[in-house]
Amino acid sequence: MTTLQAVFDKARAEDRAALVGYLPAGFPTKDGAVAAATAMVEAGCDVIEIGLPYSDPLMDGPTIQDAVHRSLINGTRIADVMRTVEGVAKSGAATLVMTYWNPIDRYGAERFARDLASAGGVGTITPDLTPEESEPWLAASKEAGIDMVFLVAPSSPDERISRVAACCTGFVYAASLMGVTGARESVSSAAEGLVKRTRAHTSLPVCVGLGVGTGAQAAEVAAYADGVIVGSAFIRRLLDAPDEKSGLAAVRELASELAQGVRR
């Protein structure tokens, strides 16, 4: 199992940012998600976030919502998410689950953390879990030995950033803008300032997500962040592909472009 610390240590030694890719479990199919994520790793992704499909995706834009809807129609359940993590972890990438809190709460925090660790997962990103409500999950994650990643936003005051960062163990997720996920023509100008403010409160890596979809944008973010997170752009390649083989080639091509970007 590759840890997040090992990933960021390696990236730092190579004088580059880490590349983090996101795909929901069960999309385009249950097996197809593992194949696509593995292709992303082979082409340069250091970390893979496996999304847990949820019926009320508060942070997700239309592209991810479309993929998640298809995954739910495919009958994807938490057991399938764990199997996806297990399959992707075999690629050698540090593998996380990104999930809203309600599915963990319903499944049971201790059970979820334990099952994720058993599947080879190294941690979770929980976008709607606040520090004030996080104690059960912090305890369960610590017991299972998995990392916890929380989000800061451009609107977060320094006191809030400090409190959120104190709950993190793997890295801090810096949302580049106020809004939902989705590739954009340009990365928000607020992202660099948010990374700088976050670093004043933690020694953990700070990764930027929301809005990155090209190698040039990855290079821009990599100039000031420890990691570059890309999700919607990968999903769009799969949605637009006429068949699974073409989809795998498309995500592999994008991952290669992004991997070159974080190395510029």
* Active site residues per annotation: 49, 60
Q: Does residue 125 contact residue 21 with C-beta atoms inside 8 Å?
A: no
Cis peptide before 157 (omega within 30 of 0): no
| Angstrom distance (rounded) from CA 60 to CA 57 | 5
| Angstrom distance (rounded) from CA 144 to CA 141 | 5
| Angstrom distance (rounded) from CA 151 to CA 163 | 11
Cα atoms in the Cβ-side hemisphere of radius 13 Å centred on 252: 11
| Angstrom distance (rounded) from CA 128 to CA 3 | 24
Residue that has been written with the tokens 């933690």 in this structure: 202
